[in-house]
Amino acid sequence: MFNEQNAHFKKGVAVQPICFGISFTNTMMNHARALVHIYQDGSVVVSTGAVEMGQGVNTKMLQVVVQKFGVGAENVRIESTNTLRIANTSPTAASAGADLNGKALEMACVSLWERLENVAAEHFSISNLKIQNGMLFDGFQNSGNNWLDLIQKAFQLRVNLSEHAHYATPMIHFDKVIGKGHPFAYHVYGTAILEVTVDCLRGTYHFDKVQIVHDLGKSMNTHIDNGQIEGAVVQGIGWMTLEEIIYNKEGKLITNALSTYKIPDIYSVPSEINIKHLESQGHEMAIQKSKAVGEPPLMYGLGAYFAIRNAVRAFNPDAEFEIDAPYTPEKVLMDLYKGR
């Protein structure tokens, strides 16, 4: 109806499904380590190989410790990444940082928890240890003792309160020679519907709405995950519409600075981004069944190209289009009047 009623503005819609495998396809990179120290004052210090770059991985590492030990976040400190503490780290990439390092951290916490369970059983008569808000429970019965009591007793008994754990993703393998194997721990799924309005006089466009159903598994932190999805969608739209690499006739890169190489900014953000989480059981190889959410939503941006293309076709149905991304306003303008 919009397109019928508007001569110089046309809307386009595209549906973009994704299926994204999680793991490094180079199998040897799928491993990580974590080091956990519990100090006699009850504080917990964590080192992993994950690099926090704004994606929230440190928050998820913090959550692993808090949920396993039942202590407050104020008792836990996540150390900066340092190869003197955690050696042979894999890159924080391939959306696998939280999974690899989180699994290693979980293993370290489990080993420490087993030692603390023995101390609780022998010296506090707690047969079913649970810790809530720093208090020790025997099942549902408050023992009257707290986390600090437990740690100080373990320290007095010379129990090892440090643990270094190593995690390697099981089952994955891939033979690059024959191109076969099981390269991914699991897959992430989702679908986006993108709606764009194209100014058919200028060749410019704006994305009105992106609606997403995304498979997060059992999300550990929906605020972080939604932020990752929103950022990835905008980055993906920029990838498909702005980020053009141009060489001159001599082969020199001329889009070599932010003055010539355009990246998405606040004006590239769709007017509306709606995210619905697909109800799923998650996957055992994802940390706490919370599926990776770094790179998969980037692929929703592919739909930006086709949404614009559909809008252009609504204006110029007879044009023969080349597949040429990114679909910059210059290219859009040329396509709008191709053959006219």
Residue 11 has a CB neighbour count (10 Å cut-off) of 18
* Cβ neighbours for 196, distance < 8 A, ≥ 6 positions apart: 11, 12, 13, 205, 206, 207, 208, 304, 307, 308, 311
For 23, 54, 103, the CA distances from 171, given in Å and listed in that order, are 11, 30, 15
Residues 244, 295, 320, 322: which is the catalytic one?
Answer: 295
Residue 38 has a CB neighbour count (10 Å cut-off) of 27
What CA–CA distance (Å, rounded) separates 100 from 66?
18
What CA–CA distance (Å, rounded) separates 308 from 95?
28
Rg (CA), the chain: 26
> Can you tell me whether residue 219 is helix, strand or coil?
coil
What CA–CA distance (Å, rounded) separates 192 from 305?
13
* 52 included as an active-site residue: no
The closest alpha carbon to 230, from 281, 301, 282, belongs to 301
Residue 89, both tokens: 């780290």
For residue 153, the number of C-alpha atoms closer than 13 Å in the C-beta half-sphere is: 16
What CA–CA distance (Å, rounded) separates 110 from 65?
10
For residue 92, the number of C-alpha atoms closer than 13 Å in the C-beta half-sphere is: 17
* 329 contacts 41 by C-beta, under 8 angstroms: no
* Backbone φ, ψ for residue 235 (5° rounding): -65, -40
* 57 contacts 227 by C-beta, under 8 angstroms: no
Residue numbers annotated as active site? 295
